[in-house]
Structure 1
Amino acid sequence: MTLKIQKIGVVGAGTMGSGIAQAFAVSGYEVVLRDIAQGALDHARSVVESSLGRLVSKNKLEAAAAEAALGRIKTTLAVEDFHDADLVVEAVLEKFEVKKAIFSELDRVVRDDAVLASNTSSISLTKIAAATKIPSRVIGMHFFNPVPMMALVEIIRALQTSDEVAAAVTSLVSAIGKDARVARDSYGFVVNRVLIPMINEAINCVYENVATPEDVDAMMKLGAAHPMGPLSLGDLIGLDIVLDVMETLYAGFNDPKFRPSPLLKQMCDAGYLGRKTKRGFFDYSAK
């Protein structure tokens, strides 16, 4: 039997959750977006509305289609509103215990044939699946920021993921106009295993006074043809998230090459997390 996915649930109304909700809604899917704070849900709706407005202004989306997409997104504080979802995508903090608690909640309320996906960027899907009552329905759907614009979705099969679930999710990713690429369940998968240590090493260059943040970014743009410097990218991602991923890689592989930079830890301790706090390796207070 082929799984049919029509109604989508999204857990977490932050940057990734709101973007994932928008991507599905624009493609015609009914979406239930859940968070534990009403303020987060209100902010997410405002962010999605603004994002859709920009697409309309750039003639990438019809005004009527944008209005219809916004209308397909229902927000809720109640996990019980996922009772009839065909797929629920978790998009919360990169902390295993937080994700484990959410999947336990989902186990309680969703149908046994519903698919449970995690947007984790580095945590083992096999470990997440093992914490659920039906491990075969758990899979990774790693979207990238900004979700509406980025084409890739990394599909990560847990050791327990069924062929049916993997096929259904891969097909769904294609249906929303994105490119599904499969990665084996390994810490960081592919993109973050390569990308985040590069950002960490750029931070070490600043920490060791090899070059200024401005020059590190300029050299990587001019010498390696990167569209954005690694420090600017770290600021965009959020330096707390960069640290979370580095710590997951370091703990998972037990390899010193994944040791987080001392400066990265200090930046996070200071609350200098990048764009979202208006200060990271660069100053965003005027933006």
Structure 2
Amino acid sequence: MAHPVPSDYASRPVAVIGAGTLGRRIALMFATRGGVVRVVDPSAEQREAAVTFAERTIEGTVKNLGLGEPGVVEASADQDRAVEGVWLVVEAVPERLDLKQTVFARLDATAPEDAILASNSSSYASRLFIDQVKLPERVLNTHFYMPPTTNALDVMSCGRTDRAVLDFVKKVFPEYGLHPFEARRESTGFIFNRIWAAIKRESLEVVAEGVSDPEDIDEMFKLNFGTRVGPFRMMDQVGLDVVLDIEEHYAAEHPEYPEGPRRVLRGYIDQGRLGAKSGAGFYDDYTKTPVPS
């Protein structure tokens, strides 16, 4: 069944479900052309942090990326109201399959029929979210990395996504400073995340075996690849609980993967060291609950 794409998207809002580290960044990017983006989260603290982040960074982002006029990021606790009239919804809730399935069933029932329903899941294929979706032709993965500094994203069909929807996303997202790349077949971890997952896993295994520590691995990584940060600092930015959720998912599909990386992550999480968002992870030089820059 063909699905109509929203031709009047420039005059309609976008909704982002989830105001965490990535949700607020996704909202920022879709607010770079003068429009309205509504961020939904049950946590008042997260909603406030998302709006504050957008207010602090929107003008610089628009200028740096050469985009339009700064838009507005609004916060809401009411998902049904937030999706009224939208042309796009991006789900960015925690990496729990049951939660994502619930979110998509509700979005399918309440969002406009021509609205595109996208998942920012970092490891789950959107095929897994459509059992209760009546219009799966509009559902797909759009996996973001760390905008506005890392603006690539993976685009992947749910297996029933209309080709027009995929082509529309690939054409329109660059207007918001984003660079979509299509995974041409279903792939757990999409394109770059599969490569990044292998780097994370082996880095953690080196620590698990007592061969080295996070600081030395990061320093070697930076020197050898010319990057500003290494894999452990990057995991701190994502959140070690999120990293563990993703690694558990990979391990469920690949029982041959070593247990060491998950054991290392659990050790830090059990101490309350979740990364930058908690003030400490592999490193302890963060301010608790920072507004990301």
TM-score normalised by L of structure 1: 0.88
1:3 corresponding residue in structure 2: 6
Question: Equivalent residue for 1:168?
Answer: 168
| Structure-2 residue corresponding to 1:60 | 64
1:34 is aligned to 2:35: no
Segments of structure 1 that go 5 or more residues without pairing to the other structure are none
**CA, structure 1 residues 15+218, in 2 after alignment: closer, same or farther (shift >3 Å)?**
same
What are the residue-to-residue correspondences of 1:13-92 with 2, within 5 Å? Answer: 13-52=19-58, 55=61, 60=64, 65-66=69-70, 69-70=71-72, 73-81=73-81, 82-92=83-93
Q: Please say which of residues 249-258 and 180-189 is displaced more in the overlay.
A: 249-258
Q: 1:123 to 1:259 in 2, by over 3 A?
A: farther
Map of 1:133 onto structure 2:
134
* 1:28-51: CA deviation from partner (whole Å, max 9, x where unpaired): 333222122333222211111122
Give, in angstroms, the shift of residue 60 of structure 1.
3.4
Q: Aligned to 1:192, what secondary structure does the other structure show?
A: helix
Separation in structure 2 between the aligned mates of residue 140 and residue 29 of structure 1, nearest angstrom: 23
Letter in 2 for 1:3: P
Matched with 1:159 is: 159
Query: How does the TM-score come out when normalised to structure 2?
Result: 0.86
- Once the two structures are superposed, the pairs formed by residues 222-261 of structure 1 within 5 Å of their partners are 222-256=223-257, 260-261=261-262
User: Is the Cα–Cα contact under 8 Å of residues 247 and 262 in structure 2 kept in the other structure?
Assistant: no
Segments of structure 2 that go 5 or more residues without pairing to the other structure are 289-293
Q: How many residues align?
A: 279
Partner of 1:201: 202
**Percent same amino acid among aligned pairs?**
31
Deviates more, 1:116-125 or 1:128-137: 128-137
Per the alignment, residue 119 of structure 1 pairs with: 120
Q: Which residue is 1:219 aligned to?
A: 220
1:207 Cα offset (Å): 2.2
The amino acid across from 2:52 in the alignment is S
Instruction: Verify the 8 A CA contact 2:205 2:260 in the aligned structure 1.
Output: no
RMSD (Å), alpha carbons:
2.3
CA contact (8 A) 1:247 1:260 kept: no
Q: Residues 25, 197 of structure 1: CA spacing in aligned structure 2 closer, same or farther, 3 A cutoff? A: same
Q: Confirm or deny: 8 A CA contact 1:197 1:246 kept in the other structure.
A: no
More deviation in 91-100 or 191-200? 191-200
Inter-partner Cα distance in structure 1 for 2:61 and 2:15: 23
SS in 1 for 2:134: coil
| 8 Å Cα contact 1:94-1:241 kept in structure 2 | yes
Please tell me whether the aligned partners of residues 26 and 144 of structure 2 are also in contact (alpha carbons under 8 angstroms): yes
